[in-house]
């Protein structure tokens, strides 16, 4: 194995820009490993963190696929080398490329923590089939939530747009295209899709562009009620008891909680979301609906043991028949030098049903 260099190229993210610079190669501590990155991937939070956190300066990125080159005793992805907790790594089977594997770590972790920890969904099918609404079913997190929900035996009602066929191919039982159902029609479609099933959960994993689109529909239809009606119709008869809101922008969690209260047989259910929700919005959540925020960072803290159990299984999922499907990949040219372009594409809502990935070896000036 080649010796590990002392310096590496990495992308420094600040509020003003992302720049390719030289940094020291980090050393792994206890319980950590040093990974020589082959491919890395982008997530929406990668452009949000520098904007929303004052004086933010860091090498962003969480999704990497590569080769372990050093193990510690007992930082960010946008670089040649990354230190990661050993508990959040998994072996990549031969059937999965580095580019495909790079789409998994953050998004699949967000999916299983939200579904099985925050919402408390049983991991294996048992008894009466229950239902879940997944908003943004073709997004990175949403596509993994669809597959995990199906493995748990749930009836999945997905909400998607231009990539709806992709969500359907991943196992969603029904897909509602929000572009075809505006106003009262959207609400009606969602209620009808529920069809009397025991729907207990909603997982809102909508992408950045999808979030904007849904917000526009809501804004132009008075008080968000038409969207709420569409969700109710889709969930009717599906025993929906849970909501997963991965965006939580402009009241989406409130809308979904109202739908859940109407389609759940008991009027009770659970909502989980990723971004902070205002106190004013939380006051509008109907009685009987529980809510809790999902943070994938808990995989390194309070949910470490829980998450490690799932991460250990990912390699097996990928090698199974039929296999767990990684996100569809769009590789940008020029490796790390294209990270600023990729984050701008995410920020402006130009990524649909695929994950942006960068091959480290394609980076200009790489030593």
What would the pLDDT profile of 64-82 be if each residue is shown by its tens digit?
999 999 998 767 888 999 9
Q: Is the dihedral of CA 310, 316, 318, 324 positive or negative?
A: negative
Task: pLDDT band for 225, please (50, 70, 90 cuts).
Answer: very low
- pLDDT tens readout for residues 249-308: 445 667 777 778 888 888 888 887 767 677 887 888 889 988 888 888 899 899 999 999
pTM (2 d.p.): 0.85
Q: Which CATH class is domain 109-294?
A: alpha beta
Confidence of residue 208 (pLDDT cuts 50, 70, 90): very low
Q: Using CA atoms, how far apart are residues 10 and 338, in angstroms rounded to an integer?
A: 12
Q: Any idea which residue has 């909603």 for tokens?
A: 202
Architecture of domain 7-104+300-362: Alpha-Beta Complex (3.90)
283 contact partners, CB below 8 Å, separation of at least 6: none
Count the alpha carbons within 13 Å of 62 in the hemisphere toward its beta carbon: 18
Question: 249 near 277, Cβ under 8 Å?
Answer: no
Question: Residue 231 has what pLDDT?
Answer: 60
CA angle 240, 226, 236 (to 5 degrees): 25
Segment holding 312, helix H or strand E: helix 304-319
Tokens of 130: 């229950």
Domain chopping of the chain, boundaries: 7-104+300-362, 109-294
Q: How far apart are the first and last CA of the chain?
A: 16
């Amino acid at each position: 194995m080649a010796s590990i260099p002392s310096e590496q190229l990495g992308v420094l993210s600040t509020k003003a820009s992302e720049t390719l610079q030289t940094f020291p190669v980090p050393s792994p501590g206890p319980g950590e490993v040093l990974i020589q990155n082959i491919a890395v991937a982008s997530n929406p939070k990668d452009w949000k963190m520098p904007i929303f956190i004052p004086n933010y300066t860091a090498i962003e990125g969480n999704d990497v696929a590569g080769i372990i080159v050093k193990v510690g005793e007992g930082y960010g992805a946008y670089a040649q080398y990354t230190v990661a907790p050993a508990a959040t790594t998994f072996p990549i089977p031969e059937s999965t490329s580095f580019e495909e594997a790079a789409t998994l770590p953050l998004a699949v972790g967000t999916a299983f923590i939200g579904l099985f920890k925050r919402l408390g969904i049983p991991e294996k099918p048992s008894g009466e089939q229950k239902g879940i609404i997944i908003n943004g079913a073709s997004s990175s997190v949403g596509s993994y939530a669809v597959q995990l929900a199906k493995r748990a035996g749930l009836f999945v009602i997905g909400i998607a747009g231009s990539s709806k066929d992709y969500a359907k191919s991943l196992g969603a039982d029904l897909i509602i295209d929000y572009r075809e159902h505006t106003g009262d029609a959207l609400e009606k479609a969602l209620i009808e899709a529920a069809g009397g099933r025991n729907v207990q959960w909603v997982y809102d994993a909508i992408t950045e562009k999808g979030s904007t689109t849904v917000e526009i529909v809501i804004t132009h239809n008075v008080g968000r009620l038409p969207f709420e009606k569409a969700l109710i119709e889709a969930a009717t008869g599906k025993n929906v008891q849970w909501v997963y809101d991965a965006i939580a922008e402009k009241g989406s969690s409130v809308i979904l909680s109202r739908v859940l209260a109407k389609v759940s047989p008991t009027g009770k259910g659970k909502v989980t979301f990723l971004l902070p929700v205002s106190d004013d919005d939380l006051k509008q959540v109907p009685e009987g609906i529980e809510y809790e925020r999902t943070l994938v960072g808990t995989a390194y803290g309070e949910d470490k043991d829980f998450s490690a159990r799932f991460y250990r299984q990912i390699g097996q999922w990928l090698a199974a028949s039929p296999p767990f499907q990684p996100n569809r990949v769009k590789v940008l040219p020029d490796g790390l030098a294209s990270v600023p372009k990729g984050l701008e594409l995410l920020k402006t809502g130009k990524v649909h049903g695929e994950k942006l990935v960068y091959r480290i070896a394609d980076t200009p000036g790489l030593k």
